[in-house]
A and B are shown apart, each in its own frame.
Chain A
Amino acid sequence: MSPLNLCLLVSSALFCIGLIGALSRSNAILVLLGIELMLNAANLNFIAFWRFGPAPGGGAGVIFVLFSIAVAAAEAAVGLALVIAVYRHQRNIRLQEAVRLKG
């Protein structure tokens, strides 16, 4: 088994852990953290293909991961600000109770 297969197996396991966490928890912060884990798994794939891919050369994988990390940081900031806004309206952050769009 080649290193590329192993890296992709690790990243798919991380993706599935994030997916299960995002689907099963009802706390908004934990759902966001699960989504962050899934994004990180995608970044692992980029690096794995850049390092062990069949056509080496170029830095596209590394550059893409840098941009992806920047976008993920922006997403985390906005998501947690939304969590705080939801908390201010209904005094908890259970997603089952966040059913109104009207503030």
Chain B
Amino acid sequence: MILALAILAFVMLAAAAVAMSLRNLIHSALCLILSWLGIAAFYLWAGAEFVGFAQILIYVGAVSMVVLFAVLLTRRLPADEFAVEPASLARASAALVTGGAVAGLLGGTLLTTRFPTPTRAPVLQVREIGELLAGPHAVALLVVGVLLTVALIGAVVIAASEPPSKGGRP
């Protein structure tokens, strides 16, 4: 159980770190897909199968495609080969110091905190998730649907290449 978590964490963290340090944007996006797969495997390991498959569908399937399309649409020249210039040394060192400080704070807190052990593992079937979504959380589900619709229409409007015509043809 712990060994599986260690392997999952290694794959997830190594893929994320490599993705954030590579210079090639396409390789970064592909490494990030591997990291998202690791996160989905963590959900499966923890017993949240529905969330794991939702993660695979949404992140590995949809968000990765959007990211790859954005990378392809924003390259400058065909000879560019998607390389990005390396970050300046001052920015990189400042980011490393900040991230290291946050990591030290979080890690120190977690290593010294003792959580009470759980009494039993929760079991949540898909049927119960559906009943929760359609019953107590129905309003939130509708709001998320409206939010997704508005966000996707807004994304289309922002990314549309031509401004809408002023005159209004019949």
CB within 8 Å of B: which residues of A?
2-10, 12-21, 23-27, 29-30, 32-34, 36-37, 40, 43-44, 47-48, 50-54, 56-59, 61-63, 65-67, 69-78, 80-85, 87-88, 91-93
The CA of A28 and the CA of B62, in the complex, are separated in Å by 19
The answer to whether A10 touches B13, judged by C-beta atoms less than 8 angstroms apart, is: yes
Within 8 A of A (CB), among B31-48: 32, 35-36, 39, 42-43, 46-48
CB within 8 A of A56: which of B13, B115, B121?
B121
- The interface size of chain B toward A, counting residues with CB under 8 Å, comes to 85
What residues of chain B lie closer than 8 Å to A17, measured between beta carbons?
13, 16-17, 20, 99
Q: Is the CB–CB distance between A24 and B87 below 8 Å?
A: yes
Give CA–CA (A84, B69) in the complex, Å: 10
Q: Please determine whether A26 and B128 come into contact, CB atoms closer than 8 angstroms.
A: no
Q: In the complex the two chains form, is B28's CB within 8 Å of A30's CB?
A: yes
Q: A23-B99, A40-B36 are in contact. Are A62 and B16 (CB under 8 A)?
A: no
By a CB distance below 8 angstroms, the chain B residues around A43 are 39, 51
Closest 5 CB pairs of A and B: A21-B20, A24-B95, A23-B95, A74-B151, A20-B99
> A78: which of B28, B115, B155 is its contact (CB, 8 Å)?
B155
A contact face: mostly helix, strand, loop, or mixed: helix
Assembled-state Cα–Cα distance A37/B32 (Å)? 9
Instruction: Tell me if B110 and A65 are in contact (CB < 8 A).
Output: no
A69 with B94, Cβ < 8 A, contacts A13-B13, A74-B151, A92-B76 known: no
Of B42, B95, B132, B152, the contact of A44 (CB 8 Å cutoff): B42
B residues neighboring A (CB under 8 Å): 1-2, 5, 9, 12-13, 16-17, 19-21, 25, 28-29, 32, 35-36, 39, 42-43, 46-48, 50-51, 54-55, 58-59, 62-63, 66-67, 69-71, 73-74, 76, 84-85, 87-88, 91-92, 94-96, 98-100, 102-103, 106-107, 110-111, 113-122, 124, 128-129, 132-133, 137, 140, 144, 147-148, 151-152, 154-156, 158-159, 161
Residues of B within 8 A of A84 (CB): 70, 73-74, 158-159
Beta-carbon contact of B159 and A19 below 8 Å: no
Which chain B positions have C-beta within 8 A of A50? 46, 48, 122
The chain A residue sitting closest to B156, CB to CB, is A81
Q: How far is A11 from B46 in the complex, measured between Cα atoms in Å?
A: 13
